[in-house]
């Protein structure tokens, strides 16, 4: 039964046991021999239903509802960034996932942020579990097992209809799951202005056994100078005042060093990058979505980062809390900062999980 989870090159020669299925608009129930049956102007079974034609405002659309035992192996989604009404589709669409008939979601996050595209903007992401390819081809390879049922939904909180929602969920049905299997979780948070000397909470209120596997961080700088001296802290299994794991700085946690900086024409410039397990894929200080004849496109600097704990999962037996400090530095030394932070935490744990706090309303999710 463990062969279901043996991916990568080393596992390719092994015989696989299960039934491969896929859910999309061409086969919304993943039925055997029922894909591509819709008719188009080209005739029967000629690209008759490539997408959901439109997501109605306020609607919750079920993308996949899978009965049985299995594992989601790959999710692909693409959708526009903006409509005629507004520019924040990737923050207005909310992705949720439910395992084994649970009533509260194990995944709840704005669509873009789940795929490391914060600020309502798509960007190229080239990592092992998450890849975003031109143009906004958003892919996730985190394995997501279930023993009885899996349900994936998308809620449209945008002001108007979002057209042409393309998606596919590739999964494998199996006879059974290991008894010690854990379930995939992801949660989005935001603090529009952090408090001085109070660490931003990436994740808390997690009880039970599991392992933490990733962080996406979207940071809008509200103050000048270098922003990334804050340390990431993992409070494990009863830690209270001090964590068991404490990093050495924000850029260190995301695999960089010395402020990601290089010199170009006498100016200090941060370098973006993508690697399999850690990256800095997005930087902008221009509004790339809105052109207006009345104002220019200057915005506060926006930065997006990811860090996957795939080779080094953070294990916990009883509880977990993850935080990050807001500390900067300048010519006078280190100082406490206040910035705009949002994040997605990714982890696996045994069910049941404690229900998440209510998601911020859409206006409070929009980027500055």
Structure tokens given for 195? 């408090």
In the predicted structure, residue 1 carries a pLDDT above the cut 60: no
Name the nearest CA neighbour of 299 among 170, 120, 108, 97: 120
Name the pLDDT band for 104 (thresholds 50, 70, 90). Answer: very high
Q: What is the pLDDT of residue 83?
A: 96
Q: How do beta strands 107-110 and 183-191 pair?
A: parallel
pLDDT mean across residues, the chain? 96
Over residues 322-337, the mean pLDDT reads 98
Domains of the chain listed by start with CATH number: 13-365 (2.60.120.1390)
Residue 1 makes CB contacts below 8 A (sequence gap 6+) with 17, 174, 175, 176, 177, 178
Distance CA 12, CA 313 (A): 24
Cis bond leading into 352, ω under 30°?
yes
CA angle in degrees (0–180, nearest 5) for 159-340-330: 150
Q: How would residue 221 be classed by pLDDT, with cut points 50, 70 and 90?
A: very high
Confidence band (pLDDT; 50, 70, 90) for 7? low
pLDDT of residue 10: 82
Residue 5 in this model has a pLDDT that exceeds 80: no
Question: pLDDT, tens digit, for every residue of 234-281?
Answer: 999 999 999 999 999 999 999 999 999 999 999 999 999 999 999 999
Q: Using the predicted structure, report yes or no on whether residue 87 has a pLDDT greater than 80.
A: yes
pLDDT band for 291, please (50, 70, 90 cuts).
confident
Residues in Cβ contact with 308 at an 8 Å cutoff, skipping those fewer than 6 apart:
127, 128, 129, 213, 214, 276, 277, 278, 346
pLDDT at residue 288, rounded to an integer: 83
Q: What is the mean pLDDT of residues 41-64?
A: 97
Q: CA-to-CA distance for 351 and 157, rounded, in angstroms?
A: 28
């Amino acid at each position: 039964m463990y062969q279901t989870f043996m991916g990568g090159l080393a596992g390719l020669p092994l015989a696989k046991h299960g039934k491969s299925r896929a859910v999309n608009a061409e086969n919304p129930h993943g039925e055997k021999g029922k894909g591509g049956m819709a008719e188009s102007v080209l005739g029967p079974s000629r690209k008759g239903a490539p997408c959901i034609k439109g997501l109605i405002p306020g609607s919750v659309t079920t993308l996949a509802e899978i009965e049985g035992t299995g594992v989601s192996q790959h999710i692909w989604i693409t959708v526009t960034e903006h409509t005629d009404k507004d520019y924040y589709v990737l923050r207005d669409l909310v992705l949720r996932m439910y395992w084994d008939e649970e009533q509260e979601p194990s995944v709840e996050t704005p669509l873009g942020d789940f795929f490391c595209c914060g600020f309502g903007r798509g960007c190229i992401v080239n990592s092992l579990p998450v890849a975003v390819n031109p143009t906004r081809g958003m892919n996730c390879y985190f394995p997501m097992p279930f023993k009885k049922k899996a349900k994936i939904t998308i809620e449209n909180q945008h002001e108007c209809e979002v057209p042409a929602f393309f998606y596919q969920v590739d999964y494998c049905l199996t006879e059974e799951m290991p008894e010690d299997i854990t379930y995939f979780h992801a949660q989005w948070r935001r603090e529009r202005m952090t408090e001085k000397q109070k660490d931003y909470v990436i994740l808390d209120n997690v009880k039970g056994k599991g392992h933490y596997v990733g962080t996406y961080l979207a940071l809008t700088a509200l103050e000048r100078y270098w922003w990334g001296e804050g340390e990431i802290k993992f409070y494990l299994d009863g830690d209270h005042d001090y964590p068991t794991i404490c990093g050495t700085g924000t850029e260190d946690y995301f695999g960089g060093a010395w402020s990601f900086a290089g010199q170009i024409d006498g100016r200090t410039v941060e370098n973006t990058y993508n690697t399999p397990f850690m990256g800095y894929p997005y930087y902008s200080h221009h509004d790339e979505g809105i052109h207006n004849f009345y104002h220019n496109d200057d915005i506060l600097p926006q930065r997006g980062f990811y860090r996957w704990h795939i080779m080094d999962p953070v294990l916990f037996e009883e509880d977990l809390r993850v935080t990050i400090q807001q500390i900067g530095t300048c010519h006078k030394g280190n100082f406490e900062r206040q910035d705009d932070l949002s994040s997605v935490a990714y982890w696996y744990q045994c069910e049941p999980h404690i229900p998440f706090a209510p998601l911020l309303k859409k206006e409070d999710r929009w980027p500055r």
